[in-house]
Amino acid sequence: MREGDRGSDVDAAATLLVAGTASHVGKSTVVAGLCRRLADAGVSVAPFKAQNMSNNARAALRPDGDWGEIGVSQFVQARAAGITPTTDTNPVLLKPRGGGESQLVIDGEAVGHYEAGTYYDEHWGTARTAAREAYDRLAAEHDVVVAEGAGSIAEINLHDRDLANVETARFGDASILLLGDIERGGVFASLYGTLELMPDDLRERVAATAITKFRGDASLLDPGIEELEARTGVPVAAVLPYDDPGLPEEDSVALPDGDTRTVVGDDDGVADAAAVTVAVPRLPRVSNFSDLDPLTRTPGVRVAYVPLDADLADADAVVLPGTKNTVDDLLALRDAGFDERLQAFDGPVVGVCGGYQMLGERITNAAVEGTGDADEVAGVGLLPVETRFREDKRVRETVVSVDGAGPLAGVSGTVSGYEIHMGRTEPVDGGAVETPLEPGSAAVGDVLGTYLHDVFATESVREAFVDALFSHTGRERPTEHGPERDPYEAAAALVADLDVSALLGDDAHAASEPNADR
């Protein structure tokens, strides 16, 4: 092993850092695939991302046994690895909330809202300590840690405070796999330039590079690969084909911009005229939009992310997703006139978390959440409830009973999901609501609000909602369902050409000889 700054009391795992030339080059998917491959081989493996920036979060267990939150990618990667997701897999999470601020979450617990300069000047040292300690716990419990970098590993303006890339490589004594995305163009220049700009000690740790998202005949790349290897001395380990295994997206980079209407789920072989469309407003601070993923994979359902000024003439239902800043996104909806179009909409409406809060009569103590100083903000008014914001945040996994009402009529049993929210929502005086998802939900007619994320992941709920859509439109629901892919196995197949033992170098034995004592 190379000499790192890891404490001598740690029974160290072999560590591979999957870094990139830029954001959105496939790091999250590659880490998930490698975790599944190693787990399938009987290796004790854990994912790790020291610092993540994402509003797509999941509830996970903290070291103290309480609930905290982590980025969705580390939750998914832990599942791929066959382990229970914990906050150690993502000890530092930054959740952008607008106005140049992010909420800082350390070891799963929100500690405050800070601008970037304040975070780096006053809190980065604390974050690094938490990340190092979380890594050490994982390294003591597992044979291999597959770490995910963030953005580009060659951000020379951040090398002295790059927690996810530079610091992780050093305190994890990691080998590095560098990914370049050919879909962006200029992949050879990106890989070469990144290698040139990396700190010297990290450059020596690079075991290989890989090209991601390739379509076509990979042999056409051979001359470029040979030249890149000759110039850098670093092998190109694989050319990974373009594929979408169906894993949740980590951040809103994957979503269309606010001025674009984009439809997801239209590759299922069902004619558009026979399908139903769920409109989702593209909130400026959208979060946990992966709640919609189960619908996008349902034959005959189109999920359309629409601009806030879009009409709803082509929509059969509307889902308001979560948001990192309910108040400011509610004001953005109102400025665009979306609230009035929603009030006039004749079809099922579902609000999840922040979307639920927007559907109520009003939000009080609004300055806790929004960037303004208003104490009260009027809601859309489709549900007779009000939300009062408080400083504390509720984070937990939960299982609730279902007593179908509104868009979920006919459902009974239980549904599992998670909550991550500030604020408490209660019926207004005299407000009559049904509570189809206990506790805390509200339904009136075809309008439903719930704090339960992942609600559509439960088959009975999803099927009832989709049945209600087809019934509302008078269309016949398609009965042909194609085989569903296991997203973890699909991710593992995507990285089948990567030789993990070669990537780990001197630590290759750890990838092939599980440690029975851990």
State how far the Cα of 24 lies from the Cα of 166, in Å rounded to an integer: 18
Digit-by-digit pLDDT tens for the chain (518 residues) are 334 444 434 457 899 999 999 999 999 999 999 999 999 999 999 999 999 998 889 999 998 889 999 999 999 999 999 999 999 999 999 998 877 889 999 999 999 999 999 999 999 999 999 999 999 999 999 999 999 999 999 999 999 999 999 999 999 999 999 999 999 899 999 999 999 999 999 999 999 999 999 999 999 999 999 999 999 999 999 999 998 888 887 655 556 566 677 888 787 888 888 999 999 999 998 988 889 999 998 999 999 999 999 999 999 999 999 998 899 999 999 999 999 999 999 999 999 999 999 999 999 988 777 666 678 899 999 999 999 988 788 899 988 888 777 788 878 888 899 999 888 888 888 776 788 886 688 889 999 999 999 999 999 899 999 999 999 899 999 876 656 778 999 999 999 999 988 898 765 444 545 444 44
**CB 227, CB 40: distance < 8 Å:** no
Structure tokens at 514: 């599980």
- pTM to 2 decimals? 0.86
3 state SS for 205-243:
CEEEEEEEEECCCHHHHHHHHHHHHHHHCCCEEEEEECC
Structure tokens at 172: 């994890």
State how far the Cα of 346 lies from the Cα of 474, in Å rounded to an integer: 14
Q: Are strands 67-71 and 57-61 parallel, antiparallel or unpaired?
A: antiparallel
**Residue 437 has what DSSP assignment?**
B
- Residue 352 β-bridge partners: 450
State how far the Cα of 198 lies from the Cα of 190, in Å rounded to an integer: 12
SS3 216: coil
Which listed residue (35, 142, 353, 421) is catalytic?
353
- Domain spanning 255-473, CATH architecture: 3-Layer(aba) Sandwich (3.40)
Q: Is 48 exposed, middle or buried (0-12, 13-18, 19+ CB in 10 A)?
A: buried
The reply to whether domains 14-246+490-512 and 255-473 share a CATH topology is: yes
Q: Reply yes or no on whether 353 is catalytic.
A: yes
State how far the Cα of 27 lies from the Cα of 25, in Å rounded to an integer: 6
**CB 424, CB 390: distance < 8 Å:** yes
CA atoms within a 13 Å half-sphere pointing along the CA-CB vector of 231: 13
Q: Look at the domain 14-246+490-512 and name its fold.
A: Rossmann fold (3.40.50)
Number of Cβ within a 10 Å radius of residue 116: 11
Q: Which residues contact 281 (CB under 8 A, 6 or more apart)?
A: 305, 306, 307, 308, 310, 318, 320, 321, 333, 338
Q: Which residues contact 507 (CB under 8 A, 6 or more apart)?
A: 1, 14, 15, 175
Q: What is the DSSP code string of 234-288?
A: --EEEEEEP----PPPSSGGGSPPTT--EEES--SS--GGGSEEEEEE--TTEE-
**CB 96, CB 324: distance < 8 Å:** yes
**CB 350, CB 442: distance < 8 Å:** no
State how far the Cα of 512 lies from the Cα of 254, in Å rounded to an integer: 35
Structure tokens at 348: 């099922």
For the chain, domain boundaries: 14-246+490-512, 255-473
* Element spanning 51, H or E: strand 51-53
State how far the Cα of 419 lies from the Cα of 392, in Å rounded to an integer: 13
Closest CA to 450 of 384, 333, 354: 354
First to last CA, the chain: 19
Which listed residue (453, 472, 481, 509) is catalytic?
453
